[in-house]
Amino acid sequence: MNSSDLIDKAGHIREGEELDLEALKDYLEPVLGSNVALMTLQQFPGGHSNLTYLLGMGDEQWVLRRPPFGSKVKSAHDMSREYRILDALKGAYDYGPVPIHFCDDHEVIGCDFYLMNYIEGLVIRREYPSNLKLSPDQIREQLLNFFDVLGDLHSVDLVEVGLDTFGKPRGYVARQVEGWSKRWVNAVTPDTVNCDKVIKWLHDNMPLESRKASVIHNDYKLDNVIFDSKDPLKLIGVLDWEMSTVGDPLMDLGCTLGYWVQISDPDFFRDARTMPSDIAGAPTRLEIIKRFQERTGLSVEHFPFYFCFGLFRLCVIGQQIYYRFYHGHTKDKRFAGFLKKAHVLQQMCELIISGKITE
**What residues contact 37, with CB distance under 8 A and at least 6 apart?**
25
Domain identity same for 61 and 168: no
Residue 330 lies in a domain: yes
Domain identity same for 20 and 152: no
Give the pLDDT score at 48.
57
Question: Cα(312)–Cα(178) distance, rounded to whole angstroms?
Answer: 12
Q: Do 264 and 358 form a contact (C-beta atoms < 8 A)?
A: no
Could you give the dihedral angle defined by the CA atoms of residues 24, 28, 32 and 35, in that order, rounded to the nearest 10 degrees? 70
Q: How many CA atoms lie within 13 A of 66 on its CB side?
A: 23
Amino acid at 251: M
pLDDT tens for each residue of 195-251: 999 999 999 999 988 888 999 999 999 999 999 999 999 999 999 998 899 999 999
Domain containing 330 equals 136-353
Residue 127 lies in a domain: no
The domain that contains 71 carries what CATH number?
Answer: 3.30.200.20
> In terms of DSSP H, where are the helices of the chain?
21-32, 79-89, 106-109, 136-154, 172-187, 196-204, 249-257, 267-271, 285-296, 303-326, 338-353
Domain identity same for 162 and 109: no
**What residues contact 261, with CB distance under 8 A and at least 6 apart?**
269, 270, 272, 273, 275, 277, 278
Domain identity same for 231 and 339: yes
Residue 122 lies in a domain: no
Residue 129 lies in a domain: no
Of 63, 86, 117, the last residue of a domain is 117
Average pLDDT over residues 324-340: 88
Domain identity same for 198 and 289: yes
Which DSSP helix (H) or strand (E) runs through 100? strand 99-103
Closest CA to 315 of 351, 343, 337, 336: 343
Report the mean per-residue pLDDT for the chain. 92
Residue 126 lies in a domain: no
Closest CA to 154 of 219, 231, 93, 234: 93
Domain identity same for 149 and 247: yes
Q: Is the pLDDT of residue 335 over 50?
A: yes
Q: Is the pLDDT of residue 258 over 90?
A: yes
Give the pLDDT score at 71.
58
Domain identity same for 142 and 63: no
Domain identity same for 61 and 142: no
Amino acid at 93: Y
Of 117, 149, 180, the last residue of a domain is 117
Domain identity same for 90 and 164: no
Q: Is the pLDDT of residue 49 over 80?
A: no
Give the pLDDT score at 334.
85
Give the pLDDT score at 242.
85
Residue 359 lies in a domain: no
Question: Cα(311)–Cα(319) distance, rounded to whole angstroms?
Answer: 12
Q: Do 224 and 238 form a contact (C-beta atoms < 8 A)?
A: yes
What is the SS3 assignment for 222? helix
Proportion of the chain above pLDDT 90, given as a percent: 79
Q: Is the pLDDT of residue 178 over 90?
A: yes
Confidence grade of residue 8 (pLDDT, cut at 50, 70, 90): confident
Domain identity same for 190 and 315: yes
The domain that contains 315 carries what CATH number?
Answer: 3.90.1200.10
Residue 233 lies in a domain: yes
Amino acid at 163: L
Of 88, 117, 146, the last residue of a domain is 117
Domain identity same for 198 and 341: yes
Q: Label residue 355 left, alpha or beta by phi (over 0 means left) and psi (-120 to 50 means alpha).
A: left
Domain identity same for 147 and 113: no
> Structure pTM?
0.89
pLDDT tens for each residue of 263-286: 999 999 999 999 999 999 999 999
Residue 358 lies in a domain: no
Domain count for the chain: 2
pLDDT tens for each residue of 72-108: 545 556 899 999 999 999 999 999 999 999 999 999 9
Average pLDDT over residues 257-263: 97
